[in-house]
Amino acid sequence: MANKIHDLGVACQIETYSDAVKAPASVRKPEIATLLAHPLSINIDDESSPRYAGWRVVAACFVVAVFCWGFGLYSHGVYLAELSRLHGWSASLISGATTAYYLLTAALVIFISDAIARLGPRRVLLIGACCLCCAVASLASIAALWQLYAVYLIMAVGSAAMHVGSITNVLGLWFDRQRGLAISLALNGTSSGGILVAPALVIAIAETGFAAAMVGAAVVMAAILVPTVAIWIDRPPLRSEAISVCVAQGASRSSSALAAASWTRPSALRSFAFWSVAGPFAMALMAQVGFLVHQIAFLEPAIGRSAAGMAVAVLTAAAVIGRIALGAFGLELDLRRVTTLSLVSQAGSLLAMTQTTDVAALFIACAVFGVSAGNLISLPALIIQREFQAASFGMLVGLSTAIGQFTYAFGPGLLGLVRDLTGSYTAALALCMGLEIVAAGTVLLPRLQRNPIDLR
């Protein structure tokens, strides 16, 4: 009975069978009492079993991540290079639109757990898929800078609905003990998006032109993504019943025992424990995303466009390897120390890139950078799962993700501005190195215990 009563606690904070047993009688509704009286009626599928239905949700979330990160992160470097070539817009102007995209995405991600609880995971992800497809297709026809901003705002809605905050919330409905593994496997789609989408987009643009390539990419994405979400993404079997018996709909406000067990957004924002996770990762992701957006533009003068596209693939392939390793050994590791080592290695690889134009050396540096790139997306959720209360997992991950995105939204624009002012990317990459070194030190400042904590 240790398995989760799926999503019974999205709003009411009763997450497990044991939580339901311990819940005061005053907050139980008759339906919950029925479940407790007949426990065999509760879905207790073994999460470790390959036949568990949650693993197909992991596969669907993997596909979602491929397209969300492929077109919503890694391909921004392609957009920047092509739009600059076609329209003569400066890197700082195009990067400003990218910054606006990240800011709106961050604002929407804050409330993604609420949207999933209200609309359901399938509907939220379908909305995201439709918006992302429309935005990618619209890039083919823009002729003015304001149109680029409008398209990126539509893309932001799609990305927010398919982002790491959404994926972790969806998987949180299905998994408890295997949640870390499920998240790591699904988020490998983020790296696969760089391996598959960005290089393919570079080749397609070279063969057919930017406009035709973007329309074709949108059609392919819609043909794969929409059916995948519609068929495989859903609430767990008890979700419909659980919502009808959720304590939040009929619970007395006097149930302070349960209320005290959960975090709220205001209390998290006042907590050093929460900021010890959100702050360092926000700085690190600002540097990482800034570099990823400018990677092709930085490498192309030295090694050519095709090789630069392959460098993106090398980086993201390394990210897959790094995330698989973390998923396999994460339970045995100090995740904060892993974060520090990851950030130091990224700073070192950026330094190496500024010192050479050799193709092999640049590929190696990209691979070193990539080993940690994927884990910087996965690590915040895994640390939160380990150090904070399970009932607040979805909300805290969404809030941490939003803070990180608010911060790294300025990364591409800042790097573009520094590049325009200095005439090269050397100073811009030095800024990234500084941010990562600071983040590497600050993430180790707190020595937090591994039991659930509450420093509010």
Position 239 pLDDT exceeds 80:
no
Tell me the C-alpha distance between 113 and 131, whole Å. 19
Q: What phi and psi, each to the nearest 5 degrees, are found at residue 347?
A: -60, -40
Tell me the C-alpha distance between 449 and 16, whole Å. 23
Bridge partners of 4, per DSSP, are: 16
Name the residue ranges covered by the structural domains of the chain.
Answer: 54-236+262-442
| % of the chain residues with pLDDT over 90 | 30
In 209-334, which residue ranges form alpha helices assigned H by DSSP?
210-232, 239-245, 247-250, 256-259, 265-269, 272-303, 305-329
Q: Tell me the per-residue pLDDT of 63-102, one tens digit each, with 9 for 90 and over.
A: 999 999 899 887 888 898 888 888 888 877 888 888 888 8
For the residues 242-264, what does the mean pLDDT come to?
44
Position 27 pLDDT exceeds 60:
no
Question: Token pair 């009492």 is at which residue?
Answer: 33
Q: Tell me the per-residue pLDDT of 153-179, one tens digit each, with 9 for 90 and over.
A: 999 999 999 988 899 889 888 887 777
CA atoms within 13 A on the CB side of 277: 27
Let me know: does 322 contact 374? Beta carbons within 8 Å: yes
Averaged pLDDT of the chain? 80
> Quick one: which of 321, 310, 172 has its CA closest to 235?
172
Least confident stretch, 135-144, 256-265, 379-388: 256-265
In 23-75, which residue ranges form alpha helices assigned H by DSSP?
30-37, 54-69
Instruction: Grade residue 12 by pLDDT with cuts at 50, 70 and 90.
Output: very low
Q: Does domain 54-236+262-442 have CATH number 1.10.10.60?
A: no
Q: What phi and psi, each to the nearest 5 degrees, are found at residue 224?
A: -95, -45
The residues near 349 (Cβ < 8 Å, ≥ 6 apart) are 365, 366, 368, 369
Tell me the C-alpha distance between 82 and 68, whole Å. 20
The residues near 41 (Cβ < 8 Å, ≥ 6 apart) are 35
The residues near 133 (Cβ < 8 Å, ≥ 6 apart) are 158, 218, 221, 222, 225, 226
pLDDT score for 41:
38
Alpha carbon 394 to its chain centroid, in Å, reads: 13
**What does the block give as tokens for 122?**
């399938």
Q: Tell me the per-residue pLDDT of 400-423, one tens digit each, with 9 for 90 and over.
A: 988 988 888 788 888 888 888 888
Position 229 pLDDT exceeds 90:
yes
Let me know: does 318 contact 368? Beta carbons within 8 Å: yes
Q: Tell me the per-residue pLDDT of 340-373, one tens digit each, with 9 for 90 and over.
A: 999 999 999 999 999 988 889 999 999 999 988 8
For the residues 273-289, what does the mean pLDDT come to?
91
CA of 186: how far to CAs of 5, 36, 102, 168, in Å?
22, 33, 22, 9
Could you tell me the pTM of the whole model?
Answer: 0.72
